[in-house]
Chains A and B, each alone.
Chain A
Amino acid sequence: MKLLIVDDSNFIRRAIERHAESFNIKEIRTANTGKAALRALNDFVPDLITMDITMPEMDGLTCVEAIRRVNATSRILVISALSDRSMAVEALKRGANGFLLKPFNEDSLREAVADVLED
């Protein structure tokens, strides 16, 4: 399985990467902005994308929408600390497949990834 991690925080990217290594994920790439994520998708088709919302240049919801114009197959898990229900609803409306609230740990990430992949 291939994973693209999109988050402007290296601290978070590395945390997801550490946890994902135990999820049978073979290839992991990272992007620190929405625009970098779109560039990465030019030559990389991940099975799963984890997407932050609050990022400079292009926010995660706009990025999800842009990804869905060209890629209908990758599963997208939005991972954000913005905790109101409307944000999760908006993420799903834009094309995400799931929403995980920060802070997360290995167990909550594993469960969210499984839900998004099985959905």
Chain B
Amino acid sequence: MPAIGPSPMDDAQLAVFVQLICNYFSASTRSTPQLGSPSIEFGTPRLLDYTGFIRFSGASPGWIYISFTQPMARTLLTKLGEQQQDSEMIRDAVGEIASIVTSNAREHFGSSFRVSLPIAISKGEDLPIPEGMPQFAYDINWESHKGILGIVLAPEAAVLPS
């Protein structure tokens, strides 16, 4: 019987998002981050001060989140020439960056890959995604700051080690 439901996301597909977050920083700030190996997690995502979430659908549905500390977000805004660096601006920026990185993946995943509008939260606010989902979390090392790129997969879409 053929499999029903989402197909799994493999290493090469996960690497697309790693490349796209590097592209974002490189294109907009000319300073490329380093990303480590992913940790595989199941509990509540490790979030920093500000996080942008995007839901994506298609063959392997799930959520992307990008999480920054406040100093990292402010350094990024400064590099972009943005002087308004209050909480509202940082939330808007992390949501938009998550949207850009995820939307850029359409080139790799095709037009069935659709993305939601971003949802941005500050630390301590309710998560806009179900808890306990399998996720791959990459540390983003950039300009002496640490951020997180998270790829949360709907359970059927995850390929996890035995």
Contact = CB atoms under 8 A, between A and B. Distances in A.
A18 B102 CA distance: 25
B80 interface: yes
Nearest to A13: B92
A83 B107 CA distance: 5
A87 B106 contact: yes
B23 interface: yes
A103 B28 contact: yes
Nearest to A10: B92
Interface residues of B, number: 28
A11 B89 contact: yes
A102 B100 contact: yes
Interface residues of A, number: 25
A82 interface: yes
A54 B100 contact: no
Contacts of B23: 103
Contact of B115 (A12, A54, A86, A102): A54
A53 B93 CA distance: 17
A81 B100 contact: yes
Nearest to B26: A103
A119 interface: no
Given A54-B103, A81-B104, A9 B96 contact: yes
Given A54-B117, A85-B107, A105-B30, 9 more contacts: A10-B92, A11-B82, A11-B92, A15-B80, A15-B82, A82-B103, A83-B103, A83-B107, A84-B110
Interface of B: 23-24, 27-28, 30, 80-82, 84, 88-89, 92-93, 95-96, 99-107, 110-111, 115, 117
